[in-house]
């Protein structure tokens, strides 16, 4: 059963130790399959387990069941520099309350819907989906500042994906909450329909910086750029882009 659950979970290098079901919620206890970890200080491999640290993170649902992972982020003691350190887990950041793939799923749903509907569907607050909406509350300590916006996390860490075959670029902007002026810019490969980039603010300079950070070969291979009507005027106008790339 554990082997089958590990296969279904499909997180490389992670095994399921046990499971618990509470009504429509499934809790899986998981940890890394390797018994070693690399010290971030001296880069030496250690197998000297120091402590276990368990915490809950939310993952993608299975059928109708809400899924939480009880993750053991183990702490090791380095035999070389003699310092304790926590292992790195590729599927979830330290102190994060959701997996990276769950953050991406929610972000993609927001792009195709809106913040409020997606938050309700996933039983999240709007602030958990887009932490940038309530800066005042965060400053007052009402929100956990360590928990980053899902949208910001996806835009910084997961995107862009491979761009080697990008020929036709679509640039669009969507509103997260109607009537509140909160927009993000979305970049799409028009030939595959895949989301390839996400910019969590509606500013031309930010968009320019993002695109010009791509390699020269990527920019030169783009044959067509299609923009939404809203991006042709107003604050997101891209008149400062190099004309040779067709962004003007």
Instruction: Specify the residue for token string 């992972």.
Output: 69
Q: 3-class SS at 187?
A: strand
- What percent of the chain is helix, strand and coil (3-state, nearest 5)? 30, 30, 40
**Can you tell me the distance from the alpha carbon of 236 to that of 150, in angstroms, rounded to the nearest whole number?**
23
* Residue 204 CB neighbour total at 10 angstroms: 17
Cα-based distances in Å from 65 to 28, 43, 59, 99: 12, 40, 11, 16
What count of other Cβ atoms lies within 10 Å of the Cβ of residue 241?
17
Counting every residue written for the chain, the total comes to 248
Write the pLDDT tens digit of every residue in 158-208.
566 778 889 989 888 777 655 556 677 888 888 887 788 888 777 888 888
Half-sphere exposure of 156 (CA within 13 A, CB side): 8
**How do residues 1-46 score in pLDDT, each as one tens digit?**
789 999 999 999 999 999 999 988 999 999 999 999 999 999 999 9
Mean pLDDT on 210-237: 73
pLDDT at 236: 37
Of the listed ranges 32-41, 99-108, 214-223, the one predicted with least confidence = 99-108
pLDDT in tens, 57-99: 999 999 888 999 999 999 999 989 999 999 999 999 888 888 9
Inter-residue contact 85 to 37 (CB < 8 Å): yes
Specify the pLDDT at position 186: 84
Decide: helix, strand or coil at residue 185: strand
* pLDDT score at 59: 94
């Amino acid at each position: 059963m554990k082997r089958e659950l590990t296969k279904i979970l499909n997180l490389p290098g992670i095994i399921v130790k046990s499971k618990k079901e509470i009504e429509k919620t499934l809790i899986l206890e998981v940890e890394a399959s390797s018994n070693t970890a690399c010290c971030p200080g001296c880069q030496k491999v250690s197998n000297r387990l120091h402590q276990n640290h368990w915490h809950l993170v939310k993952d993608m649902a299975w059928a109708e069941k809400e899924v939480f992972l009880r993750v053991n982020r183990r702490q090791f003691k380095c035999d070389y520099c003699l310092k304790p350190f926590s292992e790195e887990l590729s599927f979830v950041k330290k102190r994060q309350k959701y997996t990276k793939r769950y953050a991406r799923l929610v972000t993609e749903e927001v792009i195709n819907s809106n913040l409020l509907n997606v938050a309700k569907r996933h039983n999240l607050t709007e602030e958990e989906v887009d932490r940038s909406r309530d800066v005042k509350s965060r400053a007052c300590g009402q929100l956990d500042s360590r928990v980053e916006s899902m949208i910001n996390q996806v835009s910084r860490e997961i995107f862009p994906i491979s761009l080697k075959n990008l020929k036709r670029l679509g640039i669009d902007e969507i509103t997260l909450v109607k009537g509140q002026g909160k927009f993000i810019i979305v970049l799409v490969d028009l030939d595959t329909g895949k989301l390839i980039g996400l910019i969590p603010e509606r500013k031309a300079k930010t968009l320019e910086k993002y695109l010009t950070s791509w390699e020269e070969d990527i920019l030169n291979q783009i044959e067509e750029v299609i923009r939404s009507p809203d991006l042709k005027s107003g604050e997101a106008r891209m008149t400062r882009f190099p004309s040779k790339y067709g962004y003007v």
